[in-house]
Amino acid sequence: MLNPTLAGRDPAALPRLLLTLLAVALLWPGLQLSELNLAVLADDGNLATMGGFVAGFWPPEHGADFLALLARATVETLAIATAGMTLALAIALPLSLAASRALSLSAVSRGGRPGLLGQALRWPVRALLIVLRSVPEIVWALLFVRAVGLGPTAGVLAIAITYAGMLGKVFAEIYESVDPLPARALLGAGGSRLAAFGYGVLPLAASEMLSYTVYRWECAIRASVVMGFVGAGGLGQQMDLSMRMFAGGEVASMLLTFLVLVLLADALSRLLRERYT
């Protein structure tokens, strides 16, 4: 019979307490280094400044000329995200195949264990994917703005490079997470790697690849707006100009447009996931 004093005690209470104390001990130096001080938000002067800034957003600008400019900037933002993702996919697909162990010929003969030569050939590709995704897209945008000038081209190239690294890494992991037997059977029977990918890997991985690609397209829309602040076109560039001119109504209209844009992108991604996954 259990001791009544122990019956209501959680055996995991002490480990959880220790983990909580460890997390606080690790996070506290970070909070100190970040100089986080929420009390400044309640300062009377700061509240008045923020209130005056927000008050300038009303009413949102709705003139015909501005709405035409807003529509053009919105379409440009969508074009930047979509074109950037298309280029990213064109780069990521071959790199993901080269970086994945799913189509390793040596793994077929070794019972699933890839050889050292195959791994050595994959390391440079994986290193390239790390380099592509380790640099934030806004840094690439700054570089391309210097190279090709202001405009959407810099944003497209920045999204293409950064998201190629992200897509390539995740796609390679998806290939390796699916059942390897169909692909190995095709390779063992003398089939090409392309056939093994098309018939043994892609049908099993397509739903996850689509889901992640759509999610990254949503992220690309948001990233294209942020990159506009460094001159990469779209809504972000127009918003930066309006903020410099203290046109709060124009900024409010663009924020509302961006909100609708994200909601539509989320609805589209949900529809595609329900339809194809």
Q: How far apart are CA 217 and CA 96, in angstroms?
A: 18
Is residue 60 left, alpha or beta, with left meaning phi > 0 and alpha meaning psi from -120 to 50? beta
Under 8 Å between Cβ of 206 and 123: no
- Are residues 48 and 121 located together in one domain of the fold? no
The tokens describing 181, both together, are 């037997």
* Distance of alpha carbon 16 from alpha carbon 9, whole angstroms: 13
Same domain, 126 and 242: yes
Any domain includes 4: no
Dist CA 40 CA 36 (whole Å)? 9
- 167: domain CATH number is 1.10.3720.10
Residues 23 and 120 in one domain: no
Burial of 175 (0-12, 13-18, 19+ CB in 10 A): buried
Averaged pLDDT in 10-residue chunks for the chain of 277 residues? 54 80 82 74 76 79 85 89 93 88 59 56 86 89 87 90 93 85 77 77 84 87 86 82 83 88 81 73
Task: Tell me, yes or no, whether 271 lies in a domain.
Answer: yes
Structural domain contains residue 42: yes
CA distance 77 to 159: 12
DSSP assignment letter at 40: G
In this structure, the answer to whether residues 69 and 162 fall within a common structural domain is yes
Q: How many domains does the chain have?
A: 2
Q: What angle do CA 240, 226, 130 make, to 5 degrees?
A: 150
- Residue 98, in any domain of the structure: yes
Q: Is residue 22 part of a domain?
A: yes
CB-based contact 78:221 (threshold 8 Å)? yes
- Nearest partner of 194 among 112, 93, 123, judged by Cα: 93
How far from each other are the two terminal CA atoms of the chain, in whole angstroms? 51
Query: What are the tokens at 176?
Result: 């390796």
Query: Which pair of tokens denotes residue 124?
Result: 């440079």
Is residue 51 domain-shared with residue 74, that is, in the same domain? Answer: no
Shared-domain flag, residues 154 and 241 = yes
CA dist 160 and 86 (Å) reads: 8
**pLDDT attached to residue 119:** 65
Residues 201 and 168 in one domain: yes
Is 37 contained in some domain?
yes
User: Does 31 share its domain with 90?
Assistant: no
Residue 192, phi then psi, degrees to nearest 5: -75, 165
- Note whether 97 and 152 are same-domain residues: yes
Res 113: pLDDT: 57
- Examine residue 3 and state whether it is found in any structural domain, yes or no: no
From CA 87, how far away is CA 79, in angstroms rounded?
12
**What's the domain range around 27?**
12-55
Q: What pTM did the predictor assign?
A: 0.77
Q: What pLDDT score does 185 carry? A: 81
Does 40 reside within a domain?
yes
The answer to whether residues 172 and 215 belong to one domain is: yes
Task: Based on the fold, state whether residues 41 and 104 are members of the same structural domain.
Answer: no
User: Which pLDDT score is estimated for 224?
Assistant: 87
Strand, helix or coil at 201? helix
84 and 19 belong to one structural domain: no
Q: Which of 128, 139, 147 is nearest to 223 (CA)?
A: 139
